[in-house]
Amino acid sequence: MTSRSSQAGNPSLELLMRGVWRDNPVFVMVLGMCPVLAVSNSVINALAMGLATLFVLVASGALISMVRHLIPKQVRIATFIVIIATFVTVVDYTIQAISLDLYNALGAFIQLIVVNCIILGQAESFASQNKLLPSIINGLGMGSGFTIALVCIGAVRELLGNGSLLGFDLLGPQFQPWVIMILPPGGFFVLGGWLLLFAWLRERKGEVRIISGGCGGH
Amino acid sequence: MNKPSSGPATNPKTVTSTSSFKLLLALTLTGMFSGLLVVMVYQYTKPLVEQNKREAIEKAIFKVIPGATRQRNFLLSVQGLLPAEQKGATGEAIYAGYDDKGQLRGVAIEAAAQGYQDTVRILYGYRASCSCITGIKVLKMAETPGLGDRIASDPAFQKNFIALDASLNTDQQQLAHNIVTVKHGSKTHPWQIDAISGATISSKAVGRMLNLRSQAILPLLNRFIDVLRKGIKP
């Protein structure tokens, strides 16, 4: 809804809102489902995963945009993957340095950001064809959209599955947690619920958009 | 990918040779830059990560040994109990916890057993003066969230380990009673663990690992416990 009003105005803002709202990687493009379903069982995990992805998106997007004229077309995918893997390793060490509990909770999904198709997709379709600033803004938008989506799912799952939000007990001791919500099936239920809500919102606005299928591979 | 190579077709030989060099150069430079960045970040975060790991194990030790504020690592074997930093010392790692005055508060021992999905590793505290287990802390597990993973957080389950009896029999060779996990609500003896209802397999894994590990290590530990009692300088 914000994107519509800003469409005529600031192009940077429009670009930012595209990732957050119109082309939200999770709720609209349905990309990167593996980490979305796996680590959204609590708000803190979802937030950390989202921020890690945001950092990798922005940093790799910026670097790829800067060197886009120097990279021969034939080796661009290999180069992008090396650059993305570098920033993922940086994030991996940083999270270990910040909190080991968080690192253990996120498990292998930090390393697996390398194969998150949002990042390679953004590198290939946007950063390698645009200037530095738009690439950074696009990365920020996509990363924020991904983070917001993960936190939305994580909040519902943690509230229903554990009766808490961000570790604070909200629903009191008499609340019987819906354990299924923090188990893998809960991820599908909540994601389905959110997709339904967004589809309904779009339909109400009379805006018909073709939802692209998620990419496989991980 | 096919487009650029099909473009300049006038002199394919030169095009291929220049572009292979360029490809190599691009990949080499990217690799070098990446390597440099990763090494720099690794160097910077290494001490922080190590400190975190040390703090995590210390926190676990202080949790399972109530009253402990300092710890020292030892290696236990049939030869005796040697400080871990001593050269040539071998054996099972145990952690002795001391209070501010340098008095021995207890010993922390690692134990592991197969849980519901993967190996569950815990650290547990043992106090020789009461011959009892004084606390457990789960170090690593992959139990079902919301069910089995309550072995780490469930307050009623944790109450089992405030003073779980682990006394040795008269010849000091094994435990007087096996530590066993019993059905929820049927604990009658101090050496029994009241299982979490709905997480029997995980609860039983805790009981099994405590029993096996204590049977193996406590008779040996009690033989050499005086080494630890000497304490450390405050």
- A10-48: per-residue pLDDT in tens? 788 888 888 888 888 888 888 888 888 888 888 988 999
What is the distance between the alpha carbons of residues A194 and A152, in angstroms, rounded to a whole number?
8
The secondary element (H helix, E strand) that includes residue A17 is: helix A11-17
Sign of the CA dihedral A155, A166, A106, B159?
negative
User: Which residues on chain B are in Cβ contact (under 8 Å) with A72?
Assistant: 19, 22-23, 26
If pLDDT is split at 50, 70 and 90, which confidence band does B13 have?
very low
If pLDDT is split at 50, 70 and 90, which confidence band does A149 have?
very high
Best CA proximity match to B104, nearest among B139, B66, B142, B75? B66
Give the mean pLDDT of B195-214: 92
Contacts with A, B 25-54, CB within 8 Å: 26-27, 30-31, 33-34, 37-38, 41-42, 45, 48-49, 52-53
What is the distance between the alpha carbons of residues A55 and A95, in angstroms, rounded to a whole number?
12
pLDDT in tens, B103-129: 888 999 999 999 988 889 999 999 988
pLDDT in tens, B146-160: 788 889 888 889 999
Q: Do A119 and A33 touch, CB atoms closer than 8 A?
A: no
Is ipTM beyond 0.90?
no
Give the strand pairing for B80-83 and B92-98: unpaired
Distances (CA, A) of B127 to A127, B65, B163, B208, B210: 61, 8, 9, 19, 14
Contact yes or no for B56 and A100 at CB 8 A: yes
- 3-class DSSP assignment, residue B106: strand
Report pLDDT for A210: 53
pLDDT at B233 over 60: no
Best CA proximity match to B181, nearest among B118, B131, B128, B136? B136
What is the distance between the alpha carbons of residues B67 and B65, in angstroms, rounded to a whole number?
6
Q: What is the mean pLDDT of chain B?
A: 84
pLDDT at B12 over 80: no
Give the number of other CB atoms < 10 A from CB of residue B162: 11
Report pLDDT for A180: 84
Q: Using CB atoms, which residue from A73, A79, A179 is nearest to B30?
A: A79
Distances (CA, A) of B60 to A31, A106, A171, B55, B108: 39, 20, 29, 8, 9
pLDDT at A175 over 60: yes
Q: Do B201 and B148 touch, CB atoms closer than 8 A?
A: yes
